[in-house]
Amino acid sequence: MKVAVVVFPGSNCDHDAYYVAKDVIGADAEMIWHKDTSLGGADVVVLPGGFAHGDYLRTGAIARFSPVMNEVKKFAAAGGPVIGICNGFQVLLEAGLLPGAMLRNRSLKYQCEHVFVKVEQTDTPFTLASRKDQILRIPIAHGEGNYYAEADVVARLEKNRQVVFRYTTAAGEASAEANPNGSLHNIAGLCNEARNVVGLMPHPERACELAVGSADGLVLFESILRSVGGAAAPLPAKASAAAGAVANR
């Protein structure tokens, strides 16, 4: 399996996604420069977190014009699995690959902390290794993650089961208290109608080893391995050791 990590000039979680793909789950991975016009034969595309072009305008607003995005769109239209994490999610929204927009956090501040999200849909390439309603403890790190869309759009998302991740309490309750940023319906992540394009604000790539506080995010990468790699390749020792209970040292 080959993972393409798209690098915009202001991406800063590109290394982290690359590291998990290559060193934690042992996949083949390549950094793809945003001016490139080829995805290098990748099986999966990751749009990583960061501040793609400084994001002084609107997060992701300029990134959608990067040459590589044409390839990403074609790849997605052909059913290829694409995941946007944090700024990558914002880019997917701006590029029209997912519906809706991001507002500033309700707190009007950048927030970096671990939160709980529930995996509500397991029929996407990024969640099929998860149990339905599995609760993940993974970090958020954003200033604009307050998901917004028109009421009819949100209703459609719910009806079509496109809300893949929802902010909840540790017990799985999607309460106002569990919502870190004011997102409508506690929405943390979405998929498109075809279910191959997924975007989420939390950072699963920051939660793939107990050493960094949680390995709950690994299930997304295991899902990719399983969905793309056909029969599941056995995970390298490093990842197996990392999977399991939450560390909170």
Partner 1 sequence: MSVVDRELLERHGLTQEEYGRILEMLGREPSLTELGIFSVMWSEHCSYKSSRVHLKTLPTTGSRVLQGPGENAGAVDIGAGLAAVFKIESHNHPSFIEPYQGAATGVGGIIRDIFTMGARPIALLNSLRFGSLDEPRVRRTFTGVVAGIAGYGNSIGIPTVGGEIGFDESYTGNPLVNVFCLGIARADEIIKAAASGAGNPVYYVGAKTGRDGIHGATMASAEFDETSAEKRPAVQVGDPFMEKLLLEACLEVMKSDALVAIQDMGAAGLTCSTCEMGARGGVGIEIDIAQVPQRETGMTPYEIMLSESQERMLLVVKRGREAEVERIFEKWDLHAVRIGEVTTDNRMRVKDHGTVVADIPNGALTDEAPVYRRPMSEPSYIKEAQQLSLASLGAPAPAADVFRRLLASPNIASKRWVYRQYDHMVRTNTILMPGMGAGTVRIKGTRRALALSVDCNARFVYLDPYRGAQLAVAEASRNVACSGGLPIGATNCLNFGNPQKPEIMWQFAKAVEGMGAACRALDVPITGGNVSLYNETDSNAVLPTPTIGIVGLLEDADRVVSRAFKASGDVIILLGESRDELGGSEYLKVMHGVIRGVPPALDLDLERRLQRLLVEGADAGIVESAHDCAEGGLAVTLAECSFDTGLGAEANVAFVAADAPAMKDVAALFGESASRVIVSVTPARAHEMLGAAARAGVPATVIGRVGGNRIRIAIDGRAVIDEALESAERIWSSAIERYFEPRKAIA
- Does position 84 interact with partner 1 (CB under 8 A)? The reply is no
Beta bridge partners of 47: 84
Q: Closest distance between partner 1 and the C-beta of residue 109, in Å?
A: 5
Tokens of 188: 């943390």
Over the window 185 to 224, marking each residue x when it contacts partner 1 by CB under 8 A and - when it does not, the resulting string is ------------------x-xx-xx-xxx-----------
Tokens of 181: 């940023």
- Does position 169 interact with partner 1 (CB under 8 A)? The reply is no
Interface of this chain with partner 1, residues 113 to 132, rule: CB under 8 A = 113
- Does position 110 interact with partner 1 (CB under 8 A)? The reply is yes
**If we measure between CA atoms, which residue out of 54, 201, 20 comes closest to residue 117?**
201
User: Active site includes 203?
Assistant: yes
Annotated active-site residue in 94, 203, 208, 209: 203
User: Active site includes 86?
Assistant: yes
Pick 114 or 166: Cβ nearer partner 1: 114
Interface of this chain with partner 1, residues 31 to 70, rule: CB under 8 A = 33, 35, 49-51, 53-56
Annotated active-site residue in 205, 208, 209, 222: 205
Round to whole Å and give the CA distance between 74 and 176: 38
The span of 14-22, 65-73, 153-161, 227-235 binding partner 1 (CB under 8 A) equals: 14-22
Query: Other C-beta atoms within 10 Å of 79: how many?
Result: 12
Euclidean distance between the first and final Cα of the chain, in Å? 34
The span of 66-74, 136-144, 184-192, 222-230 binding partner 1 (CB under 8 A) equals: 136-144
Burial of 103 (0-12, 13-18, 19+ CB in 10 A): middle
Round to whole Å and give the CA distance between 87 and 96: 14
Q: Closest distance between partner 1 and the C-beta of residue 135, in Å?
A: 19
Interface of this chain with partner 1, residues 90 to 109, rule: CB under 8 A = 109
Q: Which residues are catalytic?
A: 86, 203, 205
Q: Which residues bind partner 1 (CB under 8 A)?
A: 9-13, 15-16, 19-20, 23, 33, 35, 49-51, 53-56, 109-113, 139, 141, 143, 203, 205-206, 208-209, 211-213, 248-249
